Amino acid sequence: MSENAGSDGHIRATCDYVPNNSVTGRVISSEKIELPNFTCGRGVGTPRDRYGFRNSHLTMYVQFKDPADSSKMHPGEHVTLGGVFQIITQNNGDYLLVRDAKVLHGDPFEQSE
């Protein structure tokens, strides 16, 4: 997936519903987090417009609203992000993206060694 996935790819779905309007995952890099699962809903009460992803290594790409937030992304730690959640299709593959992302919480369990 390219750095400009949102502008290069086709938006398959913009999620109107994501539980808690946020996701929590392990930081891979300043532009990616790893999730255990992801649920995305479009519309109210429309089962055919709900997407669910379960995998032990689901990757979500991150595009921050404020680029300075990328400094809060420390590999191996967990973060909770809010933003506009989308499913993007690019190069015949589907990707998860959070656009206009904001770090809501850092890793409260991370301790210095």
Which segments within 6-77 are labelled E, that is strand? Answer: 10-14, 23-29, 32-41, 50-64
Domain ranges, residue 67: 5-105
CA atoms within 13 A on the CB side of 78: 12
Query: Number of structural domains, the chain?
Result: 1
The answer to the question of residue 99 being in a domain is yes
CA atoms within 13 A on the CB side of 12: 17
CA atoms within 13 A on the CB side of 100: 6
CATH of the domain at 86: 2.40.50
Q: pTM (2 decimals)?
A: 0.78
The answer to the question of residue 113 being in a domain is no
The answer to the question of residue 111 being in a domain is no
Q: Could you tell me what percent of the chain has a pLDDT over 90?
A: 43
List pLDDT tens digits, range 7-36.
467 888 888 888 888 999 999 999 999 998
Confidence of residue 1 (pLDDT cuts 50, 70, 90): very low
Structural tokens at position 33: 């987090």
The answer to the question of residue 112 being in a domain is no
Q: Are 42 and 18 in contact (CB under 8 A)?
A: no
The answer to the question of residue 110 being in a domain is no
Structural tokens at position 14: 């913009």
